[in-house]
Amino acid sequence: MTVLILLRNGQSLADARQAFAGLLDPELTQTGVAEAHGVADLLTSRGVHVDLAVTSPLARAAQTADAVLARLGQAGVSRLVSWRLAARDLGCLTGVAKPRAVELFGAESMSQWRFSTDGKPPAASPERIRALPWRPDADVVEHLPFGEGESLRQVEDRLRPLWEDELRPALAAGRTVLVVAHTDSLRALRRVVEGRDQDEGDTLRVVPAQPLAYRTDPAGDVIPPALYLENQAAV
């Protein structure tokens, strides 16, 4: 059986501070590395052999993939790094602690910006951008709107070519594909691969450090529903 496995990065330094990371580039914590090792052990228990690993260029995704593959004994597996999988730019929310963001902007605005398809956080000020920690390398954000804010639909648009040109052909060729990325880029990817067009809020989120698997057909298309591998029904 060919499968597409989606994995959200393990705990990062931003997660540990309950801060919105967006396109910032914090590394994994030791907890995040341990979470990645747990994912590898789960994949091993399910007999999953990865043929292609596709990751965001941000450190927390790359380090999660590194830890998973090393634990699997597959460090040399084929890899593809794509800017299209980078986290969603969160504009004025970038680097802000989540409880503080609710105080500053209100729960209603936060919900609209985060979970509606076309919701988009306002841009951060230039001063705020310059003061941010964990700044990404220029080549990471070369194609991305760092600090400007990005909607989920815009993330879908940048992910669609990756699905059509890389992921779907690999699945059609019988390769099991592991995609390691971030909360919103994986939400957007799920919408693309399932052909969703309605505004469905946060229903397609991916739980951190829990592998979510789709079976695929001979054409490389996914067969919903996606199931977490810890669920015995996914075997």
Query: Going from the N-terminus, what domains does the chain have, and what CATH number goes with each?
Result: 3-86+159-234 (3.40.50.1240)
Complete edge-to-edge strand list for the sheet that includes strand 3-8? 78-81, 52-55, 177-181, 3-8, 212-216, 222-228
Q: CB burial class (10 A; 0-12, 13-18, 19+) of residue 139?
A: exposed
Per-residue model confidence (pLDDT) at position 205: 80
Predicted model pTM = 0.95
C-alpha closest to that of 82 among 214, 16, 170, 147: 170
Query: Could you state, in chain order, the average pLDDT of each consecutive group of 10 residues for the chain (235 residues)?
Result: 93 97 98 97 95 98 98 97 98 96 95 92 95 93 95 97 98 97 96 84 80 96 92 51
Using the CB atoms, write b or e for 178-195: b if 16+ within 10 Å: bbbbbbbbbbbbbbbbbe
